[in-house]
Amino acid sequence: FIPPLEELIHAIHASGKPLIGICFGHQIIAQALGGTVAKFDQGWSVGRVEYDMKGQKFALNAWHQDQVIQPPKGAETIGSSSFCAHAALAYGDQIWTMQPHPEFESPAIDGLIQYKSGAVEVDRVEHAKRQLSAANNNAEIGKKMADFFMKERA
């Protein structure tokens, strides 16, 4: 399914229509447009993570091992964390992608921890469990995404 998905990404990019990618979407859009995605050599990012997005701090949930290592030409890194250098990318005002999951509330992370904990380093799982009740910025990012889609474009 990857080659047809990459073709779709190219078609949307060529059309000028807006596109948002989350986690795998962030990765496959970067890959389709010429970036490099790889399994990160420092393991998994799990649970609540603080991201710097153009000088603003946002706390969002993450669950990934693969990440964008080299953004495609023309993509601007607009978000990062200590674990993920290219956590959010902007492709002009048309495409916005991010590695974290603004759609994941704490129960989703808790479920993933219970289901996949054997695949993730124990210390990362324990840290994620301790962060389950901490506040995040999901709603704020969700609003920014809605505004991104509604924005008038030439």
* pLDDT tens-digit series, residues 4-51: 999 999 999 999 999 999 999 999 999 999 999 999 999 899 999 999
> What is the band of 66 on the pLDDT scale with cuts at 50, 70, 90?
very high
Query: Which is catalytic among the residues 23, 26, 64, 84?
Result: 23
| Structure confidence at residue 145 (pLDDT) | 97
| Structure confidence at residue 50 (pLDDT) | 97
> What is the band of 109 on the pLDDT scale with cuts at 50, 70, 90?
very high
C-alpha span between 61 and 128 (Å, rounded): 9
| Structure confidence at residue 43 (pLDDT) | 87
C-alpha span between 33 and 74 (Å, rounded): 9
Domain 2-149 adopts which CATH fold?
A: Rossmann fold (3.40.50)
| Structure confidence at residue 36 (pLDDT) | 98
pTM for this prediction: 0.93
The answer, yes or no, to whether residue 130 has pLDDT greater than 80, is yes
Query: Which is catalytic among the residues 6, 103, 126, 140?
Result: 103
How much of the chain exceeds pLDDT 90, in percent? 88
103 is catalytic: yes
| Structure confidence at residue 28 (pLDDT) | 99
Query: Which is catalytic among the residues 26, 64, 86, 101?
Result: 101
| Structure confidence at residue 140 (pLDDT) | 97
| Average per-residue pLDDT for the chain | 95
Provide the b/e sequence for 43-80 (b: ≥16 CB within 10 Å). Answer: ebbbbbbebebeeeebbbbbbbebbbbebbeebeebbe
The answer, yes or no, to whether residue 95 has pLDDT greater than 90, is yes
The dihedrals phi and psi of 8, each to the nearest 5 degrees, come to -60, -45
105 is catalytic: no
50 is catalytic: no
